[in-house]
């Protein structure tokens, strides 16, 4: 066994590529076994085993900065940086954090939990490096899900403009927590499916140069044809146009190819965008076949991946999802909006019954809030279904677009209060404090799931502005649910 001997990423440098591949399999086994007891982000981590190995093989952490977006896929990084022996404590109080954690290791250079911050972090570290006259590498690993977040686009825009040396690695597994959405996702899928006939940029440019030059009026047309050919034949032109050198797509489970690509990237002077294709849950059948459920999994049986969690009363989330269908049947104006959490927010049944009235915008809490404001102004009844912690992102949109307009937006704030194992980045403890003082906002919190149902009805019938109900991430009390929904007097207890 190689894995028990690895306590420091420097030890990887002595291994051959074959040994790295063996180590990858040992890491997979380790994760699959350890997580049966602790649960955790199994699928995401199984997908980045080779990628993380290749990074630590090619670069010198912590001198070279490795930034993991969201930070939920950093278990392999933790294993390779001296924390293997702490995996029994993963996601427990005082145990190993399920996300990147600076206090845990000098190799954890950037903390997250909320998505799409890695590119801004990388840019900040690259600027600081240049001003200090240093020459370390800066590498951001971002998933295709996290790339849907507005912050990531803001940073791409800035990085491509400044052209400092840094590497963005897109870990593209076609999944957010649910299947990924959006136009960028469609663009990436096209590269994935076309990759067998797409050619490297240099090759295409070489080919195009061979087309003889033409003078006069024909020249411009010929140039347009050449440009069109380039757009058709080269993958990732979009990123090239944004100022990056695009490399890929690369098989993210082939360590040797990854290493070659990183060496290539090192020879580029400006920002590089490396597009890596991976499979979520790679190497564990239950996770590969149900990568949606295995994104974050509770303790499970190793043979089947089946959850060991005792079946309890329906969660508040489930009661919310079912009640929303009842209300949706009653009122055709009701429309659900989720920023990339259709499953976690209990919206799949609603989406099934009302596919036209359920919008997944990707990881875009700000856009979702403003979208809801506009839907409301046009007479719709939008429910912004959002986790308390992620709603923090949309504060200005709530103030400026929803409350200032006094728009009839309903907020279904899930995961309000403490959330447990995901830790401090995910606690839903600020929403009362940051919402209640905003003019026009009404906030409610039910004592049980039956009252939640009535609050949902109350919110739907309320037409005087924004109104929110917040509920925790727990099983319901099991109280009997009234068949008839009624509106509650606002301000009552
Ligand atoms: C601002 C914000 N909204 C929502 C989430 C919830 N969330 C955690 S991971 C994730 C999907 C990330 O997908 P991707 O970046 O592709 O990573 P993968 O797990 O597929 O490797 C989502 C939506 C979050 N962490 N932060």
Triad 171, 174, 177: Cα angle to 5°: 95
Distances (CA, A) of 375 to 170, 332, 380: 33, 13, 5
Catalytic residue among 65, 393, 415, 457: 393
Distances (CA, A) of 160 to 58, 115, 156, 164, 236: 24, 20, 6, 8, 14
Task: For residue 213, name the pLDDT band (cuts at 50, 70, 90).
Answer: low
What pLDDT score does 200 carry? 66
Ligand 1 centroid–CA 90 distance in Å is 19
Residue 346 CA to residue 193 CA, distance in Å, equals 32
Each residue of 227-242: b (16+ CB within 10 Å) or e? eeebeebbbbbbbbeb
| Average pLDDT for 261-276 | 97
Distances (CA, A) of 227 to 195, 198, 223, 274: 19, 15, 6, 22
Q: Is 280 a catalytic residue?
A: yes
What pLDDT score does 10 carry? 97
- Domain 3-198+235-289 = CATH 3.40.50.300: no
Ligand 1 centroid–CA 199 distance in Å is 31
For ligand 1, atom 26: residue with the closest CA = 114
Residue 214, pLDDT > 70, answer no
| Average pLDDT for 435-446 | 97
Q: Domain segments of the chain: what residues?
A: 3-198+235-289, 316-470
| Average pLDDT for 42-55 | 98
| Average pLDDT for 64-84 | 98
Residue 342 CA to residue 267 CA, distance in Å, equals 42
| Average pLDDT for 419-431 | 95
Average pLDDT score, the chain: 94
For ligand 1, atom 17: residue with the closest CA = 143
Pocket test for ligand 1, best of 177, 362, 385 (most atoms within 8 A of CB): 177
Question: Over the stretch 75-112, which tens digit does the pLDDT of each residue have?
Answer: 999 999 999 999 999 999 999 999 999 999 999 999 99
Would you say 370 and 399 are in contact if contact means Cβ atoms under 8 Å apart? no
Would you say 381 and 373 are in contact if contact means Cβ atoms under 8 Å apart? no
Q: Of all atoms in ligand 1, which is nearest to the CA of residue 70?
A: 25
Task: Find the residues whose C-beta lies inside 6 A of ligand 1.
Answer: 44, 47, 70, 72-73, 114-115, 143-146, 171, 173, 175-177, 280, 295, 340, 363, 365, 390, 393
| Average pLDDT for 366-375 | 98
What pLDDT score does 154 carry? 98
What pLDDT score does 294 carry? 84
Classify residue 3 by burial, with Cβ atoms within 10 Å: 0-12, 13-18, 19+: middle
Least confidently predicted of 219-223, 244-248, 382-386: 219-223
Would you tell me how many other CB atoms lie within 10 Å of the CB of residue 436? 11
Residue 162 CB partners (closer than 8 Å, separation 6+):
123, 127
| Average pLDDT for 67-80 | 98
Pocket test for ligand 1, best of 73, 144, 168, 176 (most atoms within 8 A of CB): 176
Task: For residue 140, name the pLDDT band (cuts at 50, 70, 90).
Answer: very high
Least confidently predicted of 42-56, 196-210, 406-420: 196-210
Task: For residue 198, name the pLDDT band (cuts at 50, 70, 90).
Answer: low
Ligand 1 centroid–CA 83 distance in Å is 24
Residue 358 CB partners (closer than 8 Å, separation 6+):
335, 336, 338, 342, 347, 350, 351
| Average pLDDT for 273-296 | 93
Residue 216, pLDDT > 80, answer no
Dihedral over alpha carbons 331, 332, 338, 343 (to 10 degrees): 80
Task: For residue 293, name the pLDDT band (cuts at 50, 70, 90).
Answer: confident
Q: Of all atoms in ligand 1, which is nearest to the CA of residue 113?
A: 25
Residue 182, pLDDT > 80, answer yes
Residue 272 CA to residue 164 CA, distance in Å, equals 9
What pLDDT score does 385 carry? 98
Instruction: Give the per-residue SS3 of the chain.
Output: CCHHHCCCHHHHHHCCHHHHHHHHHHHHHHHHHHHHHHCECHHHHHCCHHHHHHHHHHCCCCCCEEEECCCCCCHHHHHHHHHHHHHHHCCCCCCCCCCCCHHHCCCCCCCCCCCCCHHHHHHHHHHHHHHHCCCCCEEEEEECCHHHCHHHHHHHHHHHHHCCCCEEEEEECCECCCECCCHHHHHHHHHHHHCCCCCCHHHHHHHHHCCCCCCCCHHHHHHHHHHHHHHHHCCCHHHHHCCCEEEEEEECCCHHHHHHHHHHHHCCCCCEEEEEECCCCCCCHHHHHCCCCCCCECCECCCCCCECCCCCCCEHHHHHHHHHHHHHHHCCCEEEEECCCCCCCCCHHHHHHCHHHEEECCCCHHHHHHHHHHHHHCCCEEEEEEEHHHHHHHHHHHHHHHHCCCCCCEEEEECCECCCCCCHHHCECCHHHHHCCCCCCEEECCCCHHHHHHHHHHHHHCCCCCEEEECCCCECCCCCCCCCCCCCCCCCC
**In what order do the strands lie in the sheet containing 358-360?**
358-360, 334-338, 381-387, 410-414, 467-470, 442-444
Classify residue 307 by burial, with Cβ atoms within 10 Å: 0-12, 13-18, 19+: middle
| Average pLDDT for 362-387 | 98
Pocket test for ligand 1, best of 363, 395, 397 (most atoms within 8 A of CB): 363
Residue where the block lists tokens 């960028």: 184
Pocket test for ligand 1, best of 44, 67, 70 (most atoms within 8 A of CB): 70
Ligand 1 centroid–CA 291 distance in Å is 13
Percent of the chain with pLDDT over 70: 97
Percent of the chain with pLDDT over 90: 89
Looking from the CA of 379 toward its CB, the CA atoms found within 13 Å total: 1
Ligand 1 centroid–CA 207 distance in Å is 40
What pLDDT score does 291 carry? 78
Task: For residue 195, name the pLDDT band (cuts at 50, 70, 90).
Answer: confident
What pLDDT score does 196 carry? 67
Task: For residue 199, name the pLDDT band (cuts at 50, 70, 90).
Answer: low
For ligand 1, atom 18: residue with the closest CA = 44
Residue 442 CB partners (closer than 8 Å, separation 6+):
462, 465, 466, 467, 468, 490
Q: Is 65 a catalytic residue?
A: no
Q: Say which residue, 220 or 10, is predicted with more confidence.
A: 10
Task: For residue 183, name the pLDDT band (cuts at 50, 70, 90).
Answer: very high
Residue 283, pLDDT > 90, answer yes
The class (CATH top level) of 316-470 is alpha beta
Q: Is 365 a catalytic residue?
A: yes
Same fold, 3-198+235-289 and 316-470: yes
Ligand 1 centroid–CA 116 distance in Å is 8
Residue 69 CA to residue 144 CA, distance in Å, equals 10
What pLDDT score does 224 carry? 74
What pLDDT score does 178 carry? 93
């Amino acid at each position: 066994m190689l894995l028990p001997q690895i306590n420091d990423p420097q030890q990887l440098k002595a291994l051959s590529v074959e040994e790295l591949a063996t180590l990858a399999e040992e890491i997979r086994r380790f994760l699959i076994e350890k997580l049966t007891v602790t649960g955790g982000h199994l699928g995401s981590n199984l997908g980045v085993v080779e990628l993380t190995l290749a990074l630590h093989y090619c670069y010198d952490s912590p001198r070279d900065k490795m930034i993991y977006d969201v930070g939920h896929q950093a278990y392999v990084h933790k294993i390779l940086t001296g924390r293997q022996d702490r995996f029994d404590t993963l996601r427990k109080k005082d145990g190993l954090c399920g996300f990147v954690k600076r206090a845990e290791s000098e190799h954890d250079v950037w903390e997250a939990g909320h998505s799409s911050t890695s590119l801004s972090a990388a840019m900040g570290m690259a600027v600081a490096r240049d001003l200090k006259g240093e020459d370390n590498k800066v590498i951001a690993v971002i998933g295709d899900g996290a790339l849907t977040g507005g912050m990531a686009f803001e940073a791409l825009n800035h990085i491509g403009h400044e052209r400092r040396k840094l590497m963005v690695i897109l870990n593209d597994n076609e999944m957010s927590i649910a299947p990924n959405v959006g136009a960028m996702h469609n663009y990436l899928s096209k590269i994935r499916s076309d990759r067998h006939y797409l050619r490297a940029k240099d090759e295409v440019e070489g080919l195009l140069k061979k087309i003889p030059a033409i003078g006069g009026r024909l020249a411009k047309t010929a140039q347009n044809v050449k440009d069109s050919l380039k757009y058709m034949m080269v993958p990732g032109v979009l990123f090239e146009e944004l100022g990056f050198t695009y490399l890929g797509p690369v098989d993210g489970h082939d360590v040797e190819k990854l290493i070659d690509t990183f060496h290539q990237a090192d020879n580029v002077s400006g920002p590089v965008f490396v597009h890596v294709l991976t499979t979520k849950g790679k190497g564990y059948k239950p996770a590969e076949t149900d990568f949606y459920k295995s994104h974050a999994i509770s303790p499970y049986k190793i043979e089947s991946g089946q959850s060991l969690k005792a079946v309890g009363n329906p969660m508040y989330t489930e009661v919310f999802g079912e009640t929303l269908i009842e209300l949706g049947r009653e009122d055709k104006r009701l429309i659900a909006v989720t920023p990339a959490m259709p499953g976690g927010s209990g919206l799949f049944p609603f989406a099934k019954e009302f596919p036209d009235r359920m919008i997944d915008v990707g990881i875009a809490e700000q856009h979702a809030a403003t979208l809801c404001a506009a839907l409301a102004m046009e007479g719709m009844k939008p429910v912004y279904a959002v986790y308390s912690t992620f709603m923090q992102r949309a504060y200005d949109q709530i103030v400026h677009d929803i409350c200032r307009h006094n728009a009839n937006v309903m907020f279904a704030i899930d995961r309000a209060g403490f959330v447990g194992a995901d830790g401090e980045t995910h606690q839903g403890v600020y929403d009362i404090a940051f919402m209640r003082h905003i003019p026009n906002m009404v906030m409610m919190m039910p004592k049980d799931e039956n009252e939640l149902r009535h609050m949902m009805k109350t919110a739907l019938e309320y037409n005087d502005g924004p109104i929110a109900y917040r509920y925790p991430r727990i099983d319901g009390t099991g109280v009997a649910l009234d068949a008839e929904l009624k509106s509650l007097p606002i301000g009552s207890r």
